[in-house]
Amino acid sequence: MTRRRTAILLLIALLAVAIGIHFGTRVSAEYRTLSRFAGTQIAWRGDLPKDLADACADLGIGSFPAEPGLLTRLLRKLGLARPEPPGPYLVPAAVHALRDGRILVASHSTVIWTPGAPSVAFHLVSPRGRVGRTGPFDIGWREHGFGTTSVIDPSRVGAPLVVLRAPSTTQHYALLGDRFVLVRLEDDVGKITKNHYGAPNWTVGPSPSRTRDEWLALLRSESHAEVLAALVWLGGVHVNEGPPWPDTVHEDHESAGIWHDLIANEDVKRRLAELVESDDEWTRAAARLATDVETYPRWR
């Protein structure tokens, strides 16, 4: 019985190794495919190369319409079946190689409702095929178009930095660990501007959800990118104090309460005063914005 059990366990181990080798090879091939397209911007879904689309689909990047079967295609030609729905689907729009060896794939929504906001997701692919995702998140109310993305020198904020240029804003996202966070938002002439958190449909970038202590830690951090992320949120437009508004979609009231508490905190005020005198232009501008408190009026 012992020999039989040992043989079974050995067989299971061999199968596990074989499966690991098979899937490791498959994913590595897809990583190599993505690497070939590094630096590519795809304007339209119809411009997406098939091998790139296949690699992304196999890795679970984006979402694509299902291939119709023979019967469905025939019925559609005869007008007896509905055409393919318009989506929305998330399809690859740009591929970038990061200095740490990972591949960034930016995907965007194929359908933009009017009024509405287009969605974007950032996918990180490691050489071994591990995929991490930030999003989907909105890039601006009525921003009719995805624009372009680029990766700039990480020394600017001490972390990999992705710049997304939408029609009326330029958005800077820093990579902290495996997640991208908004560290600077500019208007159409390159001037820093406030993000709107009070109305979720106007919020640009991932909606941050942190505790009071986590925000304080970010603001006091030695990481340049973390400080900028905290300043973007502190310098944003939030709902004012009071009970939740009935029949209105607005910022989470607990999150808004944390913001009000921090803005009134004397330690936070002293920290902002320090950052206003920073040698870094981005930090100075963001800190000044955070001292200019702006809230939404209470609608009834």
Q: Is residue 221 part of a domain?
A: yes
Burial class (CB in 10 A: 0-12, 13-18, 19+), 228: buried
**Tokens matching residue 98:** 């990061």
- The counts of H helices and E strands in the chain are 8, 11
Same-domain status, 137 and 200: no
Segment 24-44 shows an average pLDDT of 80
Q: Is residue 260 part of a domain?
A: yes
Same-domain status, 137 and 195: no
300 three-state secondary structure: coil
Share of the chain above pLDDT 90, in %: 46
Contacts of 271 (CB under 8 A, 6+ apart): 219, 220
Same-domain status, 136 and 196: no
What is the residue range of 261's domain? 191-300
Tell me which residue has tokens 């390159």. 190
Same-domain status, 213 and 270: yes
Longest dimension (CA), the chain: 77
Q: Is residue 12 part of a domain?
A: no
Q: Is residue 246 part of a domain?
A: yes
Q: Is residue 195 part of a domain?
A: yes
- Domain boundary pick from 125, 143, 161: 143
Q: Is residue 134 part of a domain?
A: yes
Q: Is residue 113 part of a domain?
A: yes
Q: Is residue 268 part of a domain?
A: yes
Q: What confidence tens digit (pLDDT) does each residue in 264-299 have? A: 999 999 999 999 999 999 999 999 999 999 988 654
Is there a contact between 185 and 171 (Cβ–Cβ < 8 Å)? yes
Same-domain status, 280 and 214: yes
Same-domain status, 52 and 124: yes
Q: What confidence tens digit (pLDDT) does each residue in 47-86 have? A: 788 899 889 888 888 765 555 566 666 766 677 666 555 4
Q: What confidence tens digit (pLDDT) does each residue in 102-123 have? A: 999 998 887 666 677 888 999 9
Same-domain status, 49 and 138: yes
Ranking 136-145, 169-178, 186-195, 259-268 by mean pLDDT, the lowest is: 136-145
**Tokens matching residue 269:** 């005020």
User: What is the sign, positive or negative, of the torsion defined by CA atoms of 193, 196, 197, 201?
Assistant: negative
Closest CA to 254 of 211, 192, 191: 211
Backbone angles phi, psi at 16, to 5 degrees: -65, -40
Domains identified in the chain, total number: 2
**DSSP assignment string, 165-233:** E-SS-EEEEEEETTEEEEEEEE-TTS-B---B-SSGGG--S------HHHHHHHHT-S-HHHHHHHHHH
Same-domain status, 134 and 196: no
